[in-house]
A = this chain, B = another copy of it.
Amino acid sequence: MAHSMAAHPDRLLPAEPGVRDIARSLYNLVEGLPIISPHGHVDAAVIEQNLPFPDPAALLVTPDHYVTRLIHAGGVPMDQLGLGETATGSRQVWRNFCAAWPDFEGTASGYWIRQEFEHVFGLHDEPTAENADRIFDAISAKLSEPGFRPRQLFKEFNIEVLATTDDPLDSLDSHAALAADPAFAGRVLPTFRPDPYVNIAHPEWQDNVERLIGVGASGASGYAGYISALESRRRHFVENGAVSADHGVRTPATLKLDAADAERLFERARAGKASLADREAFEAHMMYQMARMSVEDGLVMTIHPGSYRNHHGPTFEAFGADTGHDIPFAVNYTEAIRPLLQDFGTAKDFHLVLFTLDETVFSRELAPLAGFYPSVYIGAPWWFLDAPDAMLRFRAAVTETAGFSRTSGFIDDTRAFCSIPARHDTSRRIESSFLARLVAEHRISEERARELIVDIVDASPRRVFKL
């Protein structure tokens, strides 16, 4: 079947005709609103330099681990997807992708890609082994057009705010250049992500800490210098427009240590002598410290826990991180986050957005937490859960306890720039679908639903991320 579902105006809306009518009318209110993307992984330099995208495979396949993983599961080795030292060329990668297309039916990536093809590249056929070369050439041709440069697409996509994710020692020059450029109307904001400086198990932690203290500590040394340098780099981010600090931790554990204990653990780690327990305690303490800093400097704190990174060692060794084998596991927020919330849970203007890959915590922990603590917001369904049915389960799980005001608004979290409109569009359709059901079941009025859909899509991310 070559006809693309992405052209259907009612795609992803509910099947029941009455509910669908309501959903469509809600969706129509928000389909044209600007995109607010407060958390993602696009590189600011891509926007700043505005170079043409290289080719279809390098744009849409190789760097997107949502896509490569499923082709790999189907039996295609990683190097056939453009990864590693023995990587095949882009045209062959593209052929592998097109041949694997049926495996994407029903997946979130499948919905996004279809919509990219239809709406970004004007391609109405679905990829097949037969049309792979033809599609490759068609997209390649588009990519060479001036209208397909990153800045033109940024405008075409109607992006108002795009947050990147950045190393604490990043100069943020690209962000500064974009902000200073009168010809560029969008906002590209950095996000402070200190994981490699906080996670002692990171292979370069010791070096990172030395560099951090060297750059940011203003002469202080040791633990005090480390803390001071983190504070200093956060200030640099704030000055360059950052609104949030993000934490990709293994568990959401938090712990308040006194300074002497923290210093002892820090020095033991610097000497390469930290035990597993030391590391866990230090990192939990650093989450507490990050919250303290957020209370002080106003950066929204976001936590993304619960992923076993680089699950398959041989693949990690050959092809590096972010190659599709980060696997979630169960998390528990209630006890883990308590030490942090004891001291900062009701702190003025503190915003703490809690994400999860473990759906069980939505109704059990996150909705009750966000339904009490003024600082806590429930993060939108993330990664594997950023998908139509999972988003509906999310809303059904949290709304009855926490309503709509305690959720973060949509986060695309993507490094795939061209998928941004499709991801936000999917979210808008699903939010409309959920509200439409509540209206059709006489739980909320249609008038209220019309207010809520605009609030969810537009006001929520602005409010939660202080935009």
Residues of A within 8 A of B (CB): 1, 3, 5, 8, 10-19, 69-70, 72-75, 102-108, 110-111, 308, 311-315, 324-330, 332, 334-335, 338, 341-342, 345-346, 357-360, 363-365, 367-374, 376, 384-385, 387-390, 393, 396-397, 399-406, 437-438, 440-445, 447-448, 451-452
A15 in contact with B441 (CB, 8 Å)? yes
Looking at the complex, which one of B387, B400, B452 makes contact with A401 (CB distance below 8 Å)? B387
What's the minimum C-beta distance from A393 to chain B, rounded to whole angstroms? Answer: 8
Instruction: For A440, list chain B residues within 8 Å (CB).
Output: 15
User: A72 contacts B329, CB within 8 Å?
Assistant: no
Residues of chain B lying within 8 A (CB to CB) of residue A371: 69-70, 73, 324
- Nearest residue, chain B, Cβ from A348: B75
Q: A73-B371, A106-B443, A401-B387 are in contact. Are A314 and B11 (CB under 8 A)?
A: no
B329 & A70 in contact (Cβ 8 Å cutoff): no
Cross-chain contact B401 with A8 (CB below 8 angstroms): no
| Copy count, this protein chain | 3
Minimum CB–CB distance from A109 to chain B (whole Å) comes to: 9
Nearest opposing residue in chain B for A396, CB measure:
B389
Cα A330 to Cα B10 in complex, Å, equals 39
In the docked arrangement, what's the CA distance between A437 and B389, Å?
11
Task: Give 8 new A-B contacts, CB below 8 A, not counting A10-B442, A15-B437, A110-B403.
Answer: A1-B447, A5-B443, A105-B448, A106-B399, A106-B403, A107-B399, A107-B402, A312-B372
Taking a contact as CB atoms under 8 Å apart, the answer to whether A368 and B341 are in contact is: no
8 nearest CB pairs, A to B: A387-B400, A15-B440, A11-B442, A1-B447, A329-B334, A8-B442, A106-B399, A1-B445
- Give the Cβ gap from A367 to chain B, nearest Cβ, in Å: 7
Please tell me which one of the listed residues B311, B376, B390, B447 contacts residue A400 in the complex, with CB atoms under 8 A apart. B390
How far apart are A287's CB and chain B's nearest CB, in angstroms? 17
A364 to B385, CA, bound (A): 9
Given A312-B342, A328-B334, A363-B390, check contact A374 B74 (CB 8 Å). Answer: yes
Contact of A364 among B315, B338, B346, B357 (CB under 8 A): B357
Shortest beta-carbon distance from A119 to chain B in Å: 15
Q: B73 contacts A374, CB within 8 Å? A: yes
A307 to chain B, nearest CB (A): 9
Q: Is B359's CB under 8 angstroms from A364's CB?
A: yes
Q: Please state if A346 and B312 are interface contacts (CB–CB under 8 Å).
A: yes
Is A325 a contact partner of B8 (Cβ separation < 8 A)? no
Measured between beta carbons, the chain B residues less than 8 angstroms from A402 are: 70, 73, 107
> Which one of B312, B360, B376, B388 lies within 8 Å of A358 (CB-CB)?
B360
Q: Is B11 in contact with A441, judged by CB distance below 8 angstroms?
A: yes
Residues of B with C-beta under 8 A to A12 = 441-443
Ordered by A's residue number, 21 sampled pairs between the chains whose C-beta atoms are within 8 Å are A5-B442, A11-B441, A70-B403, A72-B374, A73-B370, A73-B376, A102-B448, A106-B399, A106-B400, A107-B402, A108-B401, A311-B334, A311-B338, A311-B341, A312-B342, A314-B342, A326-B368, A329-B365, A359-B363, A359-B364, A360-B364
